[in-house]
Chains A and B, each alone.
Chain A
Amino acid sequence: MADKTLDAKGLNCPLPILKTKKMLNDVPQGGTLEVLATDPGSVADMASFCRTTGNELVESTKDGDTFRFIIKRA
């Protein structure tokens, strides 16, 4: 189970990233954030966001129309 979950379904670029960044602030260091999104662009964007910010993208999966990301806060 992730420490927090962000439901970003239905939101388009750049909102899933902006909301992810905001909610990560509420996750303790080493904790995890689960993000659910329907924006197909978020697959590449979430990986880029994590690479640049030093957070770890632990998981990037797809279930139907929903993309699920697990991010571990650095």
Chain B
Amino acid sequence: MTDGAANQKSMTIIVTKGTLDWAYPPFILATTAAAMGVNTTMFFTFYGLGLLLKKMDLKISTLGNPAMKMPMMGMHMSMPNWMSTIPGIDSMASSMMKNMIKKKGVASIEELREMAIEADVKMIACQMTLDLFEIKKEDLIDGPILGGAATWVDNAVRSDINLYI
């Protein structure tokens, strides 16, 4: 294994979105990179910060995802933006998605987050976002350090890969 080798690669991910669908790419990439020996840092800001809350109840939004199609009764049902005005539609779409996730052997975000912590993925919670949305540090899981843009830049200038999600 090349873990800890002098030429170890590193990656940072800026996590800005907090819906169920947007939560997957950063956690999948971070856990996989860590498993492949890449030193990984995640910077959680704006709605992405919600992914560090102890209690997550992630939902998807039918608004702004015009390409979303759900498999239903052997076909694919599209979810055009006007549907987002139907009361309860986001909850319905969210539970459909969560059922699919379970059925298809896809990890939950809670599981992936746990695995990221286990794999020593470094997490930075954006202090400004905490202040802005009045979130207490006690509401977050243990582990993330508090920091701002400079903390990310400091990591980013020394990283091989920097992603914004």
Contact = CB atoms under 8 A, between A and B. Distances in A.
A14 B28 contact: yes
B144 interface: no
8 contacts: A12-B105, A13-B28, A14-B32, A17-B36, A18-B32, A53-B2, A73-B1, A74-B2
B36 A15 contact: no
A10 interface: yes
A53 B33 CA distance: 10
Interface of A: 10-15, 17-18, 20-22, 24, 39, 49, 52-55, 73-74
* Shortest 6 CB-CB contacts between residues of A and residues of B: A21-B35, A12-B105, A14-B32, A52-B36, A12-B106, A10-B105
A64 B157 CA distance: 47
A17 B35 contact: yes
Contact of A53 (B31, B37, B106, B107): B37
Do most interface residues of chain B lie in helix, strand or loop, or is the interface mixed? loop
Interface string B50-63: 00000000000000
Contacts of B136: none
Interface of B: 1-2, 28, 31-32, 35-38, 104-107, 112, 115, 119
Contacts of B106: 12-13, 15
Contacts of B119: 18
A18 B37 contact: no
A66 to B, nearest CB: 14
Contact of B37 (A15, A52, A73): A52
Given A10-B105, A12-B105, A53-B37, A74 B32 contact: no
- Among A15, A17, A22, A55, the most chain B Cβ lie within 10 Å of the Cβ of A15
A23 to B, nearest CB: 11
B32 A17 contact: yes
Nearest to B30: A14
B160 to A, nearest CB: 12
Given A17-B35, A18-B115, A53 B1 contact: yes
A54 B2 CA distance: 7
A38 to B, nearest CB: 8
A32 to B, nearest CB: 14
Contact of A18 (B2, B35, B104, B105): B35
